[in-house]
Structure 1
């Protein structure tokens, strides 16, 4: 069975040798994994945590949560381990790399366009947010939700990265959550616009052309911030 193996583009999360390449037999290094945990200030792992350590491999590319990434198709996994609560992936200690596939496969059938959209969201500026926040359009689409896979997770992460760049004044302390949460009205409205536009980008076949235009209208208005 062929599976999918993601790694960060800089290999920062890779704990094995040799580096992935077509035809390579890659072996997990528990010592590299333990060293990374110690550098991160984590305690020595319990036996069940150590047992589960290994390369994360996925049956379906869309289940991958790593983004950005490089994505490898692999086979002949050895010492595969799966816990009952791990529905989307399993771990293994050895694998053979078949080839590298487009990383945007993790973003679904329209992943190439979604990847571009994620980067646009990541580059969002306060000036663009101000324009999007007052633009007319539909913040959310009525009806059954689109199958976006993990796209919303990656888009949300990119949006919060842009908000973090804009400054801490956009957030207030939430005592119930015990953390800072986004509270600025303009950014909250812009986030609605982002997720509405995502549905037009990631699942265009579920909307008519007119619906896609309405979903993306507020997001598209950000271009006016440059004029």
Structure 2
């Protein structure tokens, strides 16, 4: 079982676009053209041999939340990578489209629900989340990560969802106004600094872990970890399987 994640046209270096049954091949000119657009000058268009379409063996290893996710087979790798769970391919056959939320694991549909709500956070919702007690969240989060780390040395129990959450809460805050941001002098970058928004992000982070990796805690622990989020937004609004 292998997966190809599609993000957008700018980052798709194959031909044709994925559809069930298509044989998609790596298109080097698309890759080189994208590089030239990013840096604003011509680049050497001679392939070095390892370029290709990235295919993951496991969906949760996808590093960025995709716009669509595809099951693929009949891989033609550029170079085998023993011990790796991803490979660059010259070509593959598309089997079918699967839900993009699989990149967050088997409960990724609930994690996607948290991300969707975070993407459209309002000031009123942020204030409501910030006003609730977060007692128990930090120790439970530490416990969850410790249990995950027993069998995993890298990654996250919800894949790239936590990084995605950070991105979408920042986007939501930018829509409200620049007063929510401050300057990180050490890294010399702008960061979200408003206390209420940071507490809201903490509630989303805790809920994503509790709802997305329920096997790592007891039912009571998961309920407490997600409590602030579910108090404001209610139970997860996802289709029944």
Answer yes or no: same fold by TM over 0.5.
Answer: yes
Which residue of 125, 128, 131 maps to 2:128?
Answer: 131
Name the residue aligned to 2:4.
5
Distance (Å, rounded) in 1 between the aligned partners of 2:66 and 2:12: 14
- Aligned with residue 197 of structure 1, among 200, 207, 229: 207
CA deviation after TM superposition for structure 1 residue 42, in Å: 5.2
Structure 1 counterpart of 2:154: none
Preserved contact between residue 114 and residue 202 of structure 1 (Cα < 8 Å): yes
Q: Which has the larger displacement, 177-186 or 69-78?
A: 69-78
SS of the aligned residue for 1:177 comes to coil
**Aligned partners of 1:78 and 1:57: how far apart in 2?**
10
Mapped to 1, the partners of 2:26 and 2:20 lie a distance apart of 17
Cα drift, residue 83 of structure 1? 7.2
How far apart are 1:87 and its partner, in Å? Answer: 4.7
**1:33 and 1:200, CA in 2 relative to 1: closer, same or farther beyond 3 A?**
same
Is the 1:7–1:66 Cα contact (8 Å) retained in structure 2? no
Instruction: State yes or no: 1:121 paired with 2:131.
Output: no
Residue 13 (structure 2) pairs with residue 15 (structure 1) = yes
Unaligned ranges ≥5, structure 1: none
Partner of 1:217: 227
Aligned pairs, number: 221
Q: Distance in 2 between matches of 1:23 and 1:117?
A: 33
Q: Which has the higher mean CA deviation after the structures are superposed, 120-129 or 49-58?
A: 49-58
Once the two structures are superposed, the pairs formed by residues 12-51 of structure 1 within 5 Å of their partners are 12-41=10-39, 44=42, 50-51=48-49
Superposition pairs for residues 1-227 of structure 1, below 5 Å?
2-8=1-7, 10-41=8-39, 44=42, 50-81=48-79, 87-138=84-135, 139-140=137-138, 141=140, 142-145=142-145, 146=148, 147-223=157-233
After superposition, the C-alpha distances for 1:137-171 in whole angstroms (9 at most, x for unaligned) are: 33321424153332212222222221222222111
Ranges in structure 2 where 5+ consecutive residues have no aligned partner: 149-156, 235-241
Flag the 1:221–1:4 CA change in 2: closer, same or farther, 3 A: same
Q: TM-score, normalised by structure 1?
A: 0.85
Distance (Å, rounded) in 2 between the aligned partners of 1:137 and 1:61: 32
In the superposition, the TM-score normalised over structure 2's length comes to: 0.80
